[in-house]
Amino acid sequence: MKPQNRRRSSNNDLNSKRYEQAVKVFPAGVNSPVRAFKAVGGTPLFIAKGKGPWIWDESGRRYLDFCGSWGALFFGHAPAGLIQALSREIKKGTSFGTATVKEIELASKLRTFFPSMEKLRLVSSGTEAVMSAIRLARGYTGRKKILKIDGGYHGHVDSLLVKAGSGGATFGIPDSAGIPEELARQTLTIPFNDFEALEKVFKNEGEQIAALILEPVPANMGVILPKPGFLEQARKWTQSCGALLIFDEVITGFRIAAGGAQEHFLIRPDMTCLGKILGGGLPIAAFGGKKEIMDQLAPLGPVYQAGTLSGNPVAVAAALWVMEQFQRFKSSVDQLHERAQGFFRELRKEIQDQERPLQLNTAGSMFTLFFTREPVTDYTSAKKSSTEQFARFFHHCLERGIYLAPSQFEANFISTTHSKPLLEQTLEVFLAFCALGEPAPAKKKPAPLK
């Protein structure tokens, strides 16, 4: 592999120039907040293209991409088969606003991976999937309250942009302006992996809870693993109180196993939300679950939900291609996990002896490095990580041609196109940071990845 980082010197200039233009037309210059690099400082990248594990910015500088469009790109950037499928499909038209046969094909394939989705509906984003699932849970149960996990992210759904106050379950406080407190108060939160809080909230308010929604493996406070039995208890308490269990598998779907975390942990939720990997980078998502719940949706039932572009044929073609990959290459998830776990094993071995306090949390092919001494098991422990150290780590990697998710509280993703040699080089870059003193000394321009 040849270095391709030509025109490096103009890199920052070009990104800065674009950023100056962007801030004039978009708030903070971006169309989604984390892209603005506020959590790490510096100028956000303007990406011109991607191929396999690589992305190139506007100045032609190449980066090994561990953000992967926030976990959407299981098979890397622009796989040839996907591009061909899309080119074929797009010639037939871009949207009809009617039913199409390919949607049925997609639903049938999806159900082979997620049998708990007896019926489903296609939407265009993870947020839409979750928002619809929450409305449906409320409509189906006739209850108002939603229980979520402290630090769990489910898109920018009003009811779910709520975090916990101190201690146990508590009335919600909106995390964002514009959300009426009356609505936020209907959201309860408990810390992840907290068996006592789970029991307490269901004992005290179980009859009022429409649904417990959670990421079975949280990836939005960094990656955090469920303690053995926690998901089982979530299933038990929801069932005994007549609340629905919603697995938000927007990240974990196809990532933890082809059939998501529910396949891996052998837990059948009442409803599931999917997105990201499903569309291979195109805007498509889905929510689904038990037939009797899904049949409450309009026009069969009283819960309204709709979308002009829902089931968009181009996005469906992308999702069909993705499903075919998982069907044809049944072991692709396991193979990727194996490669990723090899990398994680090496990294863990090395960081054990490091001065720097570090925790490596991993699940399947995703990982987060936390800059803290204590194990990270929930949002409180995740927040102990030094975000200042993370920012330096992020820029250390960026300067060496590695693009990580630009925030401490995110997962990083390894795709099927991240080869073993690339992971070995990544390991070196990570370890070079660990070897640096505190604070990291200014160095001359580092060499790019080869």
Ligand X SMILES: Cc1ncc(COP(=O)(O)O)c(C=O)c1O
Alpha helix positions (H), 123-275 = 126-141, 181-184, 195-205, 230-241, 260-265
Q: Which stretch binds ligand X (CB under 6 A): 123-131, 139-147, 176-184, 358-366?
A: 123-131
The interface mask with ligand X, positions 259-278, x = CB under 6 A, is: ----------------x---
Nearer to ligand X, 61 or 276 (CB): 276
Using N-to-C axis directions, what is the helix angle for 101-113 and 313-328, rounded to 10°? 40
Q: How many secondary structure helices (H) and strands (E) does the chain include? A: 15, 17
Calculate the CA dihedral of residues 122, 123, 125, 127 and round it to 10 degrees: -100
HSE-up of residue 100 (Cα within 13 Å, Cβ side): 20
Binding-site residue total for ligand X (CB under 6 A)?
Answer: 14
Query: Least distance (Å) from ligand X to the CB of residue 310?
Result: 14
140 is catalytic: no
Residues 328-387 that bind ligand X (CB under 6 A): none
In the bound state with ligand X, the residue whose beta carbon lies nearer, of 35 and 395, is 35
153 tagged catalytic? yes
Cβ(359)–Cβ(374) below 8 Å: yes
Confirm or reject binding of residue 248 to ligand X (CB under 6 A): yes
Q: Is 294 in the site for ligand X (CB under 6 A)?
A: no
CA angle 372, 373, 376 (to 5 degrees): 70
Interface region with ligand X, contact rule CB under 6 A, candidates 91-99, 202-210, 245-253, 302-310: 245-253
Residue among 19, 153, 287, 393 that touches ligand X (CB under 6 A):
153
Cα-based angle 115, 226, 124 (whole degrees, multiple of 5):
50
Q: Alpha-carbon dihedral of residues 161, 165, 170, 173, nearest 10 degrees?
A: -40
Using the minimum distance from each CB to ligand X, give the nearer residue, 215 or 263.
215
Q: How far is the CB of 130 from ligand X (least distance, A)?
A: 5
Torsion on CA atoms 269, 243, 201, 381, rounded to nearest 10? 30
Spell out the SS3 assignment of 218-230: CCECECCCCCCCH
Q: Does 126 bind ligand X (CB under 6 A)?
A: yes
Q: Which residue out of 140, 153, 379, 403 is catalytically annotated?
A: 153
Q: Which of residues 168-227 bind ligand X (CB under 6 A)?
A: 215, 220
Name the residue nearer to ligand X (CB basis): 223 or 347. Answer: 223
Q: Which is nearer to ligand X, 130 or 243 (CB)?
A: 130
Q: Is 155 in the site for ligand X (CB under 6 A)?
A: yes
> What does the alpha-carbon distance between residue 109 and residue 104 come to, in Å, rounded to a whole number?
9
127 is a site residue for ligand X (CB under 6 A):
yes
Contact by Cβ (8 Å): 130, 213: yes
Q: Per CB under 6 A, does 125 bind ligand X?
A: yes
Of 57, 65, 194, 248, the catalytic one is 248
Q: How far is the CB of 275 from ligand X (least distance, A)?
A: 5
248 is catalytic: yes
Residue in 45, 130, 244, 398 binding ligand X, rule: CB under 6 A: 130
Count of Cβ atoms closer than 10 Å to residue 287 Cβ: 29
Structure tokens at 220: 């939005």
* Smallest separation (angstroms) from ligand X to the CB of 250: 3
Write the Ramachandran bin of 404: left for phi over 0, alpha for psi from -120 to 50, otherwise beta: beta
Sites of contact with ligand X (CB under 6 A) = 70, 125-127, 130, 153-155, 215, 220, 248, 250-251, 275
Q: Which residues are catalytic?
A: 153, 248, 276
